[in-house]
Structures are given as C-alpha cells and as structure tokens.
Amino acid sequence: MGEFFQLADLGAIAPELALAAFGLVLLVADLIVSDKRKLAHLSLGILAISAFLLFRLGDLSTSAYGGQVSIDPFASYFKFIFLIAAALTIGISTRYLDIEREHHGEYYALILFATMGMMFMASGTDLVTLYIGLETMAIATYVLVGFLRGNQRSNEASLKYFLLGAFSSGVLLYGMSLLYGISGSTNLVEIAEALSRRPVTDPISLVAMITVASGMFFKIAAFPFHQWVPDAYEGAPASVTAFMSVAVKAASFAMMVRIFMIGIYPLRDQWLPVFAAVCVMTITVGNVAALTQTNVKRMLAYSSISHAGFVLLGLIAGNDTGMTAVVLYLFVYTFMNLGAWTIIVALRRRDVIGDHVDDLNGLFFKHPAVATVMLVFLLSLAGIPPTAGFVAKYYLFASVIETGHTALAVLAALNVVVGVYYYMRVVVAMFINESTENTGLALSPGLVTVLAIALILTLFIGLYPDPFIEMARNATLVF
Amino acid sequence: MDFFETHILTIVAFLPLAGAIVLMFFNKENKLMIRLWANAVALLGFLVSVPLVFLFNYEDSGSMQFTESFTWIETLGAEYSVGIDGISLLLILLTTLLGSIATLSSWEAIQDRVKEYYIFMLLLQTGMLGVFIALDFFMFYVFWEVMLVPMYFLIGIWGGPRKLYAAIKFFMYTLVGSVLLLLGILSLYWAYPTIAAQVPEIAAVFGTDYTFSIEAFHAIGPYLEFDLQYWVFLAFFVGFAIKVPMFPFHTWLPDAHVQAPTAGSVILAAVLLKMGTYGFVRFSLPILPEATVYFVPMMIALSIVAIIYGALVAMMQKDMKSLVAYSSVSHMGFVMLGMFALNPNGLNGSILQQINHGITTGALFLIVGMIYERRHTREISEFGGLSSIMPVFATVFLIMTMSSIGLPLLNGFIGEFTILQGALQENIWWAVAGVSGIVLGAAYMLWLYQRTMFGPLDNPKNEGLRDLNLREIVTLVPLIILVFWIGIYPAPFFKALDGPVNKLVEAVRPGYFDAPPLAARLPGVVDTTVEPGDD
C-alpha cells in the first residue's frame, strides 16, 4: 500500500470506478438483454450513480494516489459536465440508432468508458494520468465514430480520426517525455518548479512547450490542427458528434488548462503569443469556412472550431475572469451545442439522411415549437442575448479587455458578426423557406426531453446567470 | 395606483412582451382576433405611457425619474435599473405612439403569417422601449441587441423581393457596431473601481464595486484619461453611428427601408434610428466629454457630408421609398450637426428634430405604403395627377412634405431652425452647410410631390385609385396633430428638454453657462437658452 496507494484513494475516484465497473456489467448484460433500449435506461442509471458518488465528494479538495489525481472543485465541475453530456447523448441516441439499424449495447458502454477517461483528464495532476485518461477517451471515441459499420462515411471518418489522433497523441507524448526529461517528474507542480529554474529561452523547454501545445491543439481542434473535424463530425453518427463536440472538447480543455496553467505556467510569456495567434486563426478560419457550407453538419463542425478559438481567449487572459469564462463557456456550450445537434439527430429519418441545410426548409411550418427552440440554440451559439451564449461570450470579452488584449478582443468581436451570417442561414431555411415533402423530424420522448433540458438551461442562464457564474468562479479558485 | 406609479416604466416596457406571449396561444387561422388583440395591446401600450406626461416633474427634467432598480446579476454588478429624464420621456412617447400606429397600419398590408408578424412587432416594441428606459449599461446592451432579432424577421419574412439580403445586411451591420460598443462598455466597466476609489464623492454615491450604472459612468466621465476616452469614443461611435446611420455607415439603411414592410420602415425610421442618436446623447457626450470635444470636427464633417450627400442621392431616386430613406440620411445628418454643436440650442434642436423626424418620416413611409398597397409599385414615374382623385391623401402628403422641408408653423421648421441657431453660435460655415441641406431638401421633396400629385392623370392604372379609408386616416391624424402642435407651440417639448440638455452641456463643456456666447443673447430667436446660474 504505502504512500502511493491508500484505501481512501478508492473513495476519491469512486465516480470513475462506478462508470468502469458498471460499464463492464453493461457489456455482459448486452449478451442477455435483447431490447437495447433497456440498456440505455441502465446506462442512465449508471451515470446517475456516478453523479451521486461525485455529489457525495462535495467540495472536498484533496489529492489521491500520491498526487496523481486531484479532487477539487475544478475537476468536479467538469465531471458534472461530462456526466450531463453523456446522459443527454444517451437520451438522443436510442431512436437514432434504431433508424440507423445499428443499435448495439456496446454503444452505451463505450460512452461510459469515454466519460470515465474524460473524468481523469479533468482531475489528473500528473502527465501519466492525464495521458491515460486522454487515450481512454480517445479510443472509445474512435470506435464510436465508426459505429455505423455499413456506412462508408462513418468508417472513413473513424479511420481518419484514428490516424490523425494517434499521430497527435504521439506528438503530445513526445512533449511530455521532454518535460519529464527536464524535471525528472511527471507531476505538474514539480514540472512547473523545474521549468521556472531554467532560463526562459531554454530551447528544450520551448520544444516541449510547442509539442505539448500542438498535441492539445489537435484535441481541441484549433488551427492548424482542425482539418479532421469536419470529416469526423460529418461521418460519425450524429449522436456521437453531439457528444464529441461538447464533452470531448470540454475534457480536452480541462486537460489543457491543467497543463498550461500549472505545469507549463512558468513559460506563459512564451506560449502566450502562440496561443494568441492560434486563437485568432482558429476563430477566423472556423467561421470563414462555415460560411460556405451547405451541409449543416459540416457547418456546425466549423462553427465548433471557431468556438474552441473563443474559449482560448479566456486562457490567454489567464486571470480569474478568464478562467471563469473558460469553464462557464464550456458549460453553456454543452447545452446550446448539444441542443442544436439534437435537432440534427432528429432530422435523420428512415429514408432521409437529413444533413443538408435544405433539409431544414420550412421546419417552422411543420414543427413550429421545435424550430423556435432551434432558433434559441442558434442565437445562443451566435452570442445574441438573452441567451446563455451571450453571457458566456460576454465573460470572455470581459476577460480579454480586463487584461488589455484589446486587438484580440476586436478581432474576436468582429468574428461574432461573421458567425451570425451562417447561423442565420439555418434560421432562414427554417422560418422563411417553403417546406418540402422532405421536411420533418423523427422525434422521440428522449429527444424531446433533451431539447427541453437544453432549452431551459440556455434561456435560464441567459436571463439569470448569477448562480452559474458563481459556480464557475468557485471551480477556478484552484488556479 | 401606487403600484402603477412605482412600476410605470416596467409596465410600459413589458406590456407588449406580455401581449406577445399571450398572442402565441392564439389560433393562427383566426386573423381577426389576432389583429384585434395586437392592436389592443399596442394601443394600451401607448395609453399606459401617457400618464408619464402628467406625472413627470418638469422642474427637474434633468434627473432620472420613475426610477426602479433591483439586483439582477450580482456577480457582475449588473442591475435591472430603469428611469427616464426629459429626453427619454419624449423618445418613449414617440415609440409607443408610432408603435401603435405602425401596428394599425399593418391591418390590410399583412395577410400572410399574421400571428408571427404581430408577435415580432410586439417583441420589437419591448426591445426598443427597454433601450430608452435602461439605466444600467448591461441591461441597455441586452435590449439593444435583442431588438435586432424581431426586426430581422420583419424584414426577412414580410419584406420585398430582396428581403433576405436586406435583413442580413441590417443585422450584420448593426452587430458590428454592437460588439464594438460592448468592448467600449467593458473598458469603462474595468476602469470604474479605480477611479471611484480615488474620488470620494463618487465612491459615496455609487460605491467602489464594479458597476454598470450609467449614472456612475456619468460621474466618472471627467476623471477618465483622455487616451481611454479616445478609444471608447471610437468604439461607441461605430456602434451608434451605424445605427443613426451616419455617413459612411449608412449603406444598410436604403436596403432595409426599401425591402421592409411599411410598418417595419415606419418603426425603423421613427424609432430605431433614434437609438443611435440617443446613444450619443446618453453615453458618448456625458461619459467621454474630452473625447467628444476632440472629435467635434470629424463628427461635424461627417454630419455635413450626410446632409448634402443624402439630399443629392435622394433627388436621384426613382423609387419613392428609397427617396424617403435617403432623406432620412440627410435629416439624421442634421440631428448630428445640432448635437455636436454642443450648445443648448444645438442639442435642444437636435433632440426635438429626432422627434420631428420620427413623426414626419414615419408619416411619409405610411403614405408611401398606402400608395403601394393600392398600386403595388413605388416607381415615381408610374404616378402623376393623383391629387385630383385622392384629395385627402394629397392633403396629408402635402402637410408631411412641408413638414419635412421645414415650413414655418410646422414641426420641421422649429427643429431645423434651432439646430441652425446652435450651429451658427459655433461656426457660421456649419450653418451655411446646413442651410444648403434645407434647400436641397425642399427641392427633392417638392419635386417628388409635383411629379406624383400634380400634372395630368395620364396613367390609366391610376384612375381607379380610392382615397384614404377611415383606418388610414386614423393612423395619420395623430401625426398631423403633432406636426402642427410642435410647429406652433413647441414650448412644452423644450420644457422637457431644457433640464437634460443643460446638464449635458455642463458635462461636456464645464463652465459653459458662466460665460454665454453673445449669439445666444440675440433677440428674435426662440427662447430656449437658460439664464446663467439657472440650473
């Protein structure tokens, strides 16, 4: 047992353990249960158990496994995001998988395993833990992206994502090994100490910083490592894309914050210009590419690239406001983006692929309520009040203005305007264009519930953000 | 009644929203009920705003009245805080009046998707009123942006052939300004606590915490460093100038106006543009006094260009609606000219002219809309000699044309005269440029009137045109009354404006009233100036 492992440490990672253990049970249950919908309910139950265990940990601030994982408000905040995102994803998946005729129990187990990996990415304070968490998540996601076995697009997306993902993990690992070489430790705090003892122009430190940053930029889909996103998001099952675009992104940001705000923080002056350039390019390239898309999945994929760029603004600001903005944005983004993707999921029907902007034509005339809900999500993504998206963007802008990055703020702000253009194209299709015989949705109780939850939170956070800002602020006190 | 009095602004602003929410539950096929309900709500919206006129304390028109505030987002220091002074009082009344008129004018014009149309109209109304009552910058910004969405739909769904282009152009143009405005607001937000901590008088009233209180920002205005003022002024300038619109940011306006449905154009001209000028008056001038004075030459130059350029382009238009749209550019140039004269006459005239422009241009868009409903064209060359078959229409049109030109005894004259007076006090060439704008204005408006109303009735398609019906007359009568009222007896309006205007001038040019320029004492001018020390 010793210093490295104590029995109490098991309690600290109980939420993750629950996901792993019950995920295995789910795999076995898959062999005997023929109605896969029951597995969906079972996995929701497992997520609830994990959430309950997480809740029991409360505000506890401690570290376990000799400083390998940290149990702090930051980690808990993100873990709740992952659990919520996973639950919402399962809510929109059942009907969709039936329609795609690929309804298998492994789907739910993979989501649970990916969620577990993410939880370690949020709580890890050691490069090894972080990396293993990342890979657990990534491998589960590779499989999920290729889940539509009979669909060439899905297979292609999965392979592409896998190859590029493996390559970027390699780069990341290379950087991590350099950090280990410099400091003789994989612990983030010790790495920070070692780095601060070296001259800032030390080439090895810089190479380590650049390689780690590149690996992370790939995971959050920042320029110039964003190319995989449109293909993966378009080819993957829409429900998996919904999951990836919010949870995988949030987890990668959580890991990035840990590494860059603790481990490589001594090199902040060096990584700041890199981040600033990447941030502006990511926002702009994502937005500009989204302008011309006629495929709504690809459009939302590019829009998610630009959103990642926006989140980087908070990291660049790097102060309390900035960190609050980052975690608040990721929380808000979970609901508004999952909400929008839920509608894309519902567009898929037996005979209609439903991923074109034209497939939304006249949706308002057939489903006025759903179209209005989608309008709210799009306005929120665009950052128009009184939606959550506005509050989140407001916070990001507040942080960069506070820290004096005015030019960056102006460039990002002008990009908000570009975003409106393509979000409004979807609005035009839904509200102004005539409906066709293709117009329609495959709704299910699960989908409607998810839409309702996402809508309520998107509007509530927009109108009364106080408790959520408080929560986000509390989560970032560790930095 | 107590409840009503303490919450009157909230009631005025949110009544249309409440009406819109109820309207969502109407059956969309029952168009009559929908129209009746929407008009009733709009009319009620106007009626509840009328008591403001009587409850308002004119002796103290420079301070915020009917204030109400409670904490909204504690972590940010944002409040729900409302209140009005004389300037916002007039703009609110303009908004509620024109809102109900625009709603009424849509009765026959809108036949498709009636329910959504009125929902958007009512939402727009709440958005605009919120802008004028907000005393919290965060809240102001929320309303300022919220109002874009219903306007986008009004143009995009019920607009003309190029409606989508015009709608997105309107949205994106305004948004460019809005986001920069937000950055400016944030700069002030972060600057506030440091200044408040150094100046005990400010800290005593507004505290040293982060705040969005507009009055707190007014208080720190004199203490802001010039460098910060300079950049914030530019950010605000882009935000507000696009909305006004000032040259060279005006290009969205003709598109939006020409494509929008009649009621949309009326609201756009009468109220939406005023949000830009209101922004300058409420924020740029008092919060950034040094930068305001510094930028006077640029602002005046742009205003003069707008006056003359707008008028010249208006003259060349073949479409009645785009003619009126460009005339707006010219008239708003006037408003800006008066404002940046930065003296009591200029500002009084500027704000009164905003109201006048709302009334007159609103009426002109209604008139153009009425003719469009009958003939489904707005080409000037399609018309001629209409006065012989539409005498009532011709009379109203004549009144509004004269008002737009600035004929004495009508409202336009008072506004333009006071503005010119203000301009003259500062620099004779500003006034000369302004006068040339009036001459050009007379030319294009009279020419328009002559081409459409006089001459032989030579187009056979026009022979069967019927004159105005009762509903159309009802929409115009309040505006005609106001045109004469302001033209003949503007004193009540100036009474509401004197307080806030003097406060503004004192803020931008401290000590102005200690040594009034000679020109303000010249005999024979409308007495809008205030004796020294009268404040």
Is pLDDT above 60 for B329? yes
Instruction: Encode pLDDT of B407-459 as tens digits.
Output: 888 998 999 999 999 998 888 899 998 899 899 999 999 999 988 888 888 88
Of B288 and B110, the one with more pLDDT: B288
> Does B142 contact A385 at a Cβ distance shorter than 8 Å?
yes
Which site among A401, A431, A471, A477 would you substitute to test the B interface, given the most B Cβ atoms closer than 10 Å to its Cβ? A401
| Amino acid (one-letter) located at B322 | S
Which residues of chain A from 372 to 411 reach within 8 Å of chain B, CB to CB? 379, 384-386, 390, 394, 397-398, 401-402, 406, 409-410
Instruction: Encode pLDDT of B470-528 as tens digits.
Output: 999 999 999 999 999 999 999 888 988 988 999 899 888 888 887 655 555 555 545 45
Q: Strand A62-64 vs strand B78-84: parallel, antiparallel, or unpaired?
A: unpaired
Give residue B495's Cα distance to chain centre: 19
Q: Strand A62-64 vs strand B65-73: parallel, antiparallel, or unpaired?
A: unpaired
A61 falls in which pLDDT band (50, 70, 90)? confident
Report the percent of chain B where pLDDT is more than 70: 96
pTM for the complete prediction? Answer: 0.92
Distance in angstroms (rounded) separating the CA atoms of residues B332 and B242: 12
- Which residues does residue A71 pair with via DSSP β-bridges, in sequence order? A62
| Amino acid (one-letter) located at B78 | A
For residue A140, give how far its alpha carbon lies from the nearest alpha carbon of chain B (Å). Answer: 39
> Does B179 contact A417 at a Cβ distance shorter than 8 Å?
yes
Is pLDDT above 90 for A417? yes
B62 falls in which pLDDT band (50, 70, 90)? confident
The answer to whether A369 contacts chain B (CB < 8 Å) is: no
Query: Can the peptide bond before residue B245 be classed as cis, meaning omega within 30 degrees of 0?
Result: yes
Q: Is A478 helix (H, G, I), strand (E, B) or coil?
A: coil
Between the CA of residue A464 and those of A328, B76, B207, what are the distances in Å? 13, 11, 23
Nearest to A396 by CA among A285, A304, A322, A296: A322
Distance in angstroms (rounded) separating the CA atoms of residues B364 and B266: 8
Nearest CB among A397, A424, A470 relative to B75 is that of A470
Is pLDDT above 90 for B382? no
Is pLDDT above 90 for A62? no
pLDDT at A352: 78
Instruction: Please report residues of B whose CB lies closer than 8 A to that of A417.
Output: 172, 175-176, 179
Distance in angstroms (rounded) separating the CA atoms of residues A272 and A275: 5
- Kindly list the residues of chain B whose beta carbon comes within 8 Å of any beta carbon in chain A: 72-76, 141-142, 145-146, 148-149, 152-153, 156-157, 164, 168, 171-172, 175-176, 179-180, 182-183, 186-187, 189-190, 231
> Does B75 contact A469 at a Cβ distance shorter than 8 Å?
yes
Tokens of B496: 């509401």
Residue labelled with tokens 């987002």:
B73
Is pLDDT above 50 for B236? yes
Tokens of B391: 């005498």
For residue A269, give how far its alpha carbon lies from the nearest alpha carbon of chain B (Å). Answer: 23
Cα-only R_g, chain A:
21
> Does A416 contact B179 at a Cβ distance shorter than 8 Å?
yes
Element (H, E) at A64: strand A62-64
A326 neighbors A311 (Cβ within 8 angstroms)? yes
Nearest to B134 by CA among B304, B278, B343: B278
> Does B75 contact A406 at a Cβ distance shorter than 8 Å?
no
Tokens of A441: 């949705």
Name which of A418-427, B106-115, B345-354 the model is least confident about.
B106-115
Q: Is A356 helix (H, G, I), strand (E, B) or coil?
A: strand
Beta-carbon contacts of residue A201 (< 8 Å; ≥ 6 apart): none
B535 falls in which pLDDT band (50, 70, 90)? very low
Which site among B14, B142, B170, B174 would you substitute to test the A interface, given the most A Cβ atoms closer than 10 Å to its Cβ? B142
For residue A92, give how far its alpha carbon lies from the nearest alpha carbon of chain B (Å). Answer: 28
B237 neighbors B245 (Cβ within 8 angstroms)? no
How high does pLDDT run on average in chain A?
90
Look at the alpha carbons of A20, A125, A475, A172 in this order and tell me if their dihedral is positive or negative. negative
Instruction: Please report residues of B whose CB lies closer than 8 A to that of A379.
Output: 149
Distance in angstroms (rounded) separating the CA atoms of residues B258 and A356: 32
Residue labelled with tokens 């709740």:
A80
> Does B186 contact A397 at a Cβ distance shorter than 8 Å?
yes
CA B415, B421, B423, B425: dihedral to nearest 10 degrees?
-160
How high does pLDDT run on average in chain B?
89
A168 neighbors A267 (Cβ within 8 angstroms)? no
pLDDT at B15: 93
pLDDT at A450: 94
pLDDT at A336: 94
Is pLDDT above 90 for A56? no
> Does B172 contact A409 at a Cβ distance shorter than 8 Å?
no
B60 falls in which pLDDT band (50, 70, 90)? confident
The chain B residue lying nearest A465, using CA atoms, is B73
Tokens of A46: 């497992």
pLDDT at B111: 85
Give residue B141's Cα distance to chain centre: 17
Distance in angstroms (rounded) separating the CA atoms of residues B261 and B378: 13
CB neighbour burial string for B436-453, b if at least 16 within 10 angstroms, e if fewer: ebbebbbebbeebbeebb
The answer to whether A294 contacts chain B (CB < 8 Å) is: no
Q: What angle do CA A365, A366, A367 make, to 5 degrees?
A: 100
For residue B96, give how far its alpha carbon lies from the nearest alpha carbon of chain A (Å). Answer: 23
Between the CA of residue B345 and those of B308, B340, B529, what are the distances in Å? 22, 11, 7
pLDDT at B519: 55
Nearest CB among A406, A417, A432 relative to B176 is that of A417
Nearest CB among B148, B157, B190 relative to A432 is that of B157
Tally of CB atoms within 10 A around A28: 11
Give residue A279's Cα distance to chain centre: 17
Classify residue B379 by its DSSP letter: B
For A43, half-sphere exposure in the C-beta direction (CA atoms, 13 angstrom radius) is 36
Q: Give mean pLDDT, residues B124-143.
A: 93
The answer to whether A466 contacts chain B (CB < 8 Å) is: yes
A50 falls in which pLDDT band (50, 70, 90)? very high
B197 neighbors B203 (Cβ within 8 angstroms)? yes
Tally of CB atoms within 10 A around B27: 9
pLDDT at B532: 47
Look at the alpha carbons of B298, B301, B305, B307 in this order and tell me if their dihedral is positive or negative. positive
Between the CA of residue B156 and those of A370, A384, B166, B259, what are the distances in Å? 20, 18, 8, 9
Is pLDDT above 80 for B77? yes
For residue B8, give how far its alpha carbon lies from the nearest alpha carbon of chain A (Å). Answer: 22
For residue B27, give how far its alpha carbon lies from the nearest alpha carbon of chain A (Å). Answer: 13
> Does B149 contact A379 at a Cβ distance shorter than 8 Å?
yes
Residue labelled with tokens 């601060």:
A196
For residue B146, give how far its alpha carbon lies from the nearest alpha carbon of chain A (Å). Answer: 6
> Does A401 contact B186 at a Cβ distance shorter than 8 Å?
yes
Nearest CB among A386, A401, A421 relative to B172 is that of A421
Classify residue A351 by its DSSP letter: S
Distance in angstroms (rounded) separating the CA atoms of residues A272 and A411: 17
Distance in angstroms (rounded) separating the CA atoms of residues A162 and B135: 54
How many contacts does A have with B, using Cβ atoms within 8 A? Answer: 73
Report the percent of chain A where pLDDT is more than 90: 68
Which site among B23, B139, B175 would you substitute to test the A interface, given the most A Cβ atoms closer than 10 Å to its Cβ? B175
Q: Give mean pLDDT, residues A132-142.
A: 94
Nearest CB among A420, A469, A470 relative to B175 is that of A420
Beta-carbon contacts of residue B50 (< 8 Å; ≥ 6 apart): B93
> Does A384 contact B146 at a Cβ distance shorter than 8 Å?
yes
Is pLDDT above 90 for A353? no
Instruction: Please report residues of B whose CB lies closer than 8 A to that of A406.
Output: 183, 231
Of B534 and B87, the one with more pLDDT: B87
Distance in angstroms (rounded) separating the CA atoms of residues B478 and B483: 9
Element (H, E) at B284: none
Phi, psi of A57 (to 5 degrees): -65, -30
Which site among A363, A428, A469, A474 would you substitute to test the B interface, given the most B Cβ atoms closer than 10 Å to its Cβ? A428
B1 falls in which pLDDT band (50, 70, 90)? low
Nearest to A446 by CA among A31, A149, A98: A98
Element (H, E) at A79: helix A73-100
A136 falls in which pLDDT band (50, 70, 90)? very high
Tally of CB atoms within 10 A around B164: 18
Distance in angstroms (rounded) separating the CA atoms of residues A289 and A327: 26
Distance in angstroms (rounded) separating the CA atoms of residues B48 and A443: 44
A36: exposed, middle or buried (Cβ count in 10 Å: 0-12, 13-18, 19+):
middle
For residue A241, give how far its alpha carbon lies from the nearest alpha carbon of chain B (Å). Answer: 29
Query: Can the peptide bond before residue A199 be classed as cis, meaning omega within 30 degrees of 0?
Result: no
pLDDT at B517: 57
pLDDT at B515: 63
Instruction: Encode pLDDT of A120-131 as tens digits.
Output: 999 999 999 999
The chain B residue lying nearest A390, using CA atoms, is B142
How far the first Cα of chain B sits from its last, in Å, is: 32
A151 falls in which pLDDT band (50, 70, 90)? confident
The chain B residue lying nearest A388, using CA atoms, is B142
Is pLDDT above 60 for A26? yes
Q: Give mean pLDDT, residues A392-406.
A: 93
Nearest to B113 by CA among A210, A362, A211: A362
A311 falls in which pLDDT band (50, 70, 90)? very high
> Does B190 contact A401 at a Cβ distance shorter than 8 Å?
yes
Please report, for chain B, how many H helices and E strands are present, in that order: 24, 2
For residue A417, give how far its alpha carbon lies from the nearest alpha carbon of chain B (Å). Answer: 6
